[in-house]
Structure 1
Amino acid sequence: MSQPVVIFLNTRRTHLEHGAAIEAAYRQGYGVALIADSVPAGLPERIVSVVHKVDTYDAAAVDAAVDAIAAEHEIAGVVTWSDRDVETVSRIAQRLGLPAPSLPAAKAARNKYLMRQALVDHPEAIPRFARVTEWTELTKAVAEIGYPAVLKPTSASGSKGIFVLHGEDDLRAAFDELIRYTRPEVDKVFTDNANELIVEEFLVGTEHSVEGFVSGGEIHIAGVTDKETSEPFRLEVAHTFPSSLPESTLDAVRKLTATVVRALGLDECTFHLECMVSPVGTAKLVEIAARVGGDFITSHLVGLATGVPFAENVIRVATGTAPVLGDSRLYSGVRKIMAVEAGVFEGVDGLADALGVPGVRHAIIERAVGAKVQLPPADYMSCTIGAVLAVGDSAEAVRATLATAVHAVTARISG
């Protein structure tokens, strides 16, 4: 047979992200066999030697593609880069005898209600919560949980559909919007749990994520990321790595991570855990995903700060090898270029000025000229125009660099 391959089930949305993953596989000695709904242009053909364009929500079509790959290549591992394919990866790995989480663990990592159910014996680790599919369930649940509260889908990612409820006047509009939105006709990610929501207590504090791996039952934490979000829909707009939290608080975050990973039974995978840290330093789970973090955190920020590309460890773990971690001797960060109005994207001004700011490493525009731009709650993704990535010798320096660079960029949007 030819060079062993790792199956990629879909890719990240930008060339900066999926390019880092493809190159990492090649550096580890593997080719890439891509199974995807859409195939990005310009893939390196000597690395991505096999491409199957199929509907990856169609299990039979995915299985046929896997069988075709297996007939021609040794398959060393299978990975995905987004939530939607986590369960499919586990199903493929189970068929082929490859490393991946068990199917029950993958399912729990895809559903915020099942995730919290797995942790009911650890009430200190999770907010009070209730599953909601009907209006009467919501009114009963918030009467018990109290205000403020958060209402969101049990699946999806990328801060899609998060509503903060401050009182009874917020309930109906939030519920109706989420019932409209959480349907497979709107987004296929809701195929298996349409109109399933979760309401939970509102957690006060700062938001963070934990980037890491589980290999052979051992948890490896690459680091903790500090997060900034926008109001009122809690869109993630900036990240800094590593965290500036004090060591005692980082220890609480690491203990939470161990509790969650073990309660869900995750193993042989990458994980991205999101949590809230209270003003007194306690940490509670927001969610955990059995895949890489997005927003360039794991494609770039971890590697820029530590010198060890995170994606190389993703490939190591997916092929049955323990990760090799680096030390965070630098700081890195990303800040998004966000639309402030809806309309049609016409381009940006000031990109050269942004790239000229000392410390900036990358700038990327994600929207195509002519694309429709909407603001939440009409849409949760198209308002992100692009992003700037930077490196520095302190978190403060990185944040200042990013603020200067993003301020230099103006998105042109016509009404």
Structure 2
Amino acid sequence: MARRALILIEGNTHGTGLQYVQAAERLGLHPITLSTDPAQYDYLAAEGIETVRVDTGNLDALIHECSRLRATYDIAGITSAREAVYATVGKICRNLDLPGPNPASIERCCDKFTQRELLAQAGVPIPSYRLAANAAQVERSAAEIGLPVVLKPAVGNGSMGVRLCDNADELVEHTTYLLGGKHIWRSSPRILVEEFAQGPFYEAETMGNEVIGISAAEFGPPPHFVFRQSIFPALLTDDEHERIADVALSCLQALGLDWGPTNIELRWTKRGPVVIEVNPRLASGTYPRRFQLAYGIDPVTEHIKLVIGAHCDLRRRYSRVAAARFLLPDCDGTLDWIRGDNRAAAVSGVAEVKLHAEPKTPIVRKGDYRDCIAHVIAASPSFAQTKAILQRAVDLISWSITPFPILR
């Protein structure tokens, strides 16, 4: 009998790629990663994972490779931890008659302007927005909406290229950055100019047509939107939880996202919950670990179960509060040292401490998820206790950065 395999299109260097590999093995599956450059994912070699080098931007090549693997393995399912290739995953699944997301829905959702149009047509509360292709259109759009505004690439993720602009000078500066060749575009340059919705930030996580959890998050200092802390579940009243869940489900209906995981970002404004963004994938980074600590459910495993056509079990085993703190540098320069992670990990209630930067490496802040140099995860039975544990652990971690010399 052929061995059952799970094919993963590309990987992920920020936690979830390894988690998909490990969850597949726990389910008795043989994970195989197809990637344009498998060497970029350190965990593949470390875990001894089978890899195939193939151009993942070429759908025909991927379908050919998956069909070739079918001659050796029983392909139980195909998926990915990367949003950029998730629509491609859907197309391969349809070609091979396997469970998967609707590729057309994923593509529409990944274009933030198209996403806004569909949400607006469905009456989902969203910020005012315009689409711009040049500096003049950006300036006109900002004038129509009113400063401050948020500028972001129409296609992208991880907050890359996203910035709050409070005044005309910042608007010109960031427009020049986005259109001047410094930002790497995944498609033709198009900028979304968006009203800055102000209020507490929340993320609703869904699986299929069910809201499985809501977290609260805080950002580091503006003008960028880099996560500083996230707590799961959010401390909400029943009414607040219901209103956020209702808006989240309205997003799924408007965008045709009724299969698999979705991450929905919102702010609670004077109007109530307003949708900032819908991400047609499982939330990455520390989210799966925190979800498991809070409810005893591994969302990566449950997603894979959907992928292979098995029953997805989202029943909560218990209820705790899990939080993550993301440590961010306050200047650019060379990281001299970072220490205290072992002491932080020894604090009762701390579930994970991970350093993302090594001494003697350059630190160049980009204003997105890549700025994080370490994270700490803690869990306990209560909101207040978890926050206290987290702070106690974070206070034990310190570092030194020598600023780059100023060139004259």
Cα–Cα, structure 1 residues 279 and 330, in superposed 2: closer, same or farther, change >3 Å? farther
Q: Does the residue aligned with 1:125 lie in a helix, a strand or coil?
A: coil
Let me know the Cα RMSD of the aligned residues.
2.2
1:203 aligns with 2:193: no
Distance 1:209 1:97 in 2: 32
Residue 293 of structure 1: how far off its partner (Å): 0.5
Q: Does the residue aligned with 1:175 lie in a helix, a strand or coil?
A: helix
Residue 409 (structure 1) aligns with: 397
Distance 1:42 1:167 in 2: 44
Cα–Cα, structure 1 residues 205 and 381, in superposed 2: closer, same or farther, change >3 Å? closer
Residue 109 (structure 2) aligns with: 109
Distance 1:175 1:21 in 2: 37
Residue 179 of structure 1: how far off its partner (Å): 1.8
Tell whether the 8 Å contact from 1:8 to 1:79 is kept in structure 2 after alignment. yes
Residue 13 (structure 1) aligns with: 13
- TM-score between both structures, scaled by the size of structure 1: 0.89
Letter paired with 2:172: R
Residue 176 of structure 1: how far off its partner (Å): 0.8
1:397 aligns with 2:392: no
Q: Does the residue aligned with 1:119 lie in a helix, a strand or coil?
A: helix
Cα–Cα, structure 1 residues 181 and 164, in superposed 2: closer, same or farther, change >3 Å? farther
Q: How does 1:108-257 map to 2 (within 5 A)?
A: 108-180=108-180, 186=184, 190-191=185-186, 193-214=187-208, 219-232=209-222, 233-257=224-248
Tell whether the 8 Å contact from 1:210 to 1:224 is kept in structure 2 after alignment. yes
Distance 2:245 2:329 in 1: 35
Residue 249 of structure 1: how far off its partner (Å): 1.0
Q: Which one of the candidate residues 251, 255, 274 is aligned to 1:260?
A: 251
Q: How does 1:17-166 map to 2 (within 5 A)?
A: 17-36=16-35, 37-39=37-39, 40-41=41-42, 43=44, 48=49, 50-166=50-166
Q: Does the residue aligned with 2:90 lie in a helix, a strand or coil?
A: helix
Distance 1:208 1:101 in 2: 24
Distance 1:382 1:397 in 2: 29
Residue 132 of structure 1: how far off its partner (Å): 1.2
- State percent identity of aligned pairs: 21
Residue 21 of structure 1: how far off its partner (Å): 2.1
Residue 152 of structure 1: how far off its partner (Å): 0.7
- Cα deviation digits, residues 286-333 of structure 1 (max 9, x gap): 1111211022102x0111111111111110122233421133511111
Q: Does the residue aligned with 2:373 lie in a helix, a strand or coil?
A: strand
Letter paired with 1:265: G
Letter paired with 2:108: A
- Cα deviation digits, residues 23-75 of structure 1 (max 9, x gap): 22223332211112334345489984x31133433445433432332222122
Distance 1:121 1:41 in 2: 43
Residue 194 of structure 1: how far off its partner (Å): 2.9
Residue 400 of structure 1: how far off its partner (Å): 2.0
Letter paired with 1:197: I
Cα–Cα, structure 1 residues 97 and 182, in superposed 2: closer, same or farther, change >3 Å? farther
Q: Which one of the candidate residues 375, 378, 388 is aligned to 1:387?
A: 375
Distance 2:92 2:43 in 1: 27
Distance 1:247 1:207 in 2: 17
Distance 1:157 1:367 in 2: 21
Residue 271 (structure 1) aligns with: 262
Residue 181 of structure 1: how far off its partner (Å): 5.8
Q: Does the residue aligned with 1:198 lie in a helix, a strand or coil?
A: strand
Q: Does the residue aligned with 2:206 lie in a helix, a strand or coil?
A: strand
Distance 2:380 2:270 in 1: 27
Q: Does the residue aligned with 2:18 lie in a helix, a strand or coil?
A: helix
Tell whether the 8 Å contact from 1:89 to 1:100 is kept in structure 2 after alignment. yes
Letter paired with 2:235: S
Residue 105 of structure 1: how far off its partner (Å): 0.3
- TM-score between both structures, scaled by the size of structure 2: 0.91
Q: Does the residue aligned with 2:283 lie in a helix, a strand or coil?
A: coil
Tell whether the 8 Å contact from 2:5 to 2:29 is kept in structure 1 after alignment. yes
| More deviation, 237-246/392-401 | 392-401
Distance 1:405 1:109 in 2: 38
Letter paired with 2:341: L
Residue 241 of structure 1: how far off its partner (Å): 0.7
- Cα deviation digits, residues 76-123 of structure 1 (max 9, x gap): 222111221112111211211122222220102211111111122234
Distance 1:31 1:293 in 2: 24
Distance 1:376 1:47 in 2: 32
Letter paired with 1:24: A
Q: Does the residue aligned with 1:313 lie in a helix, a strand or coil?
A: helix
Cα–Cα, structure 1 residues 373 and 352, in superposed 2: closer, same or farther, change >3 Å? same
- Structure 2 gaps, min length 5: 404-408
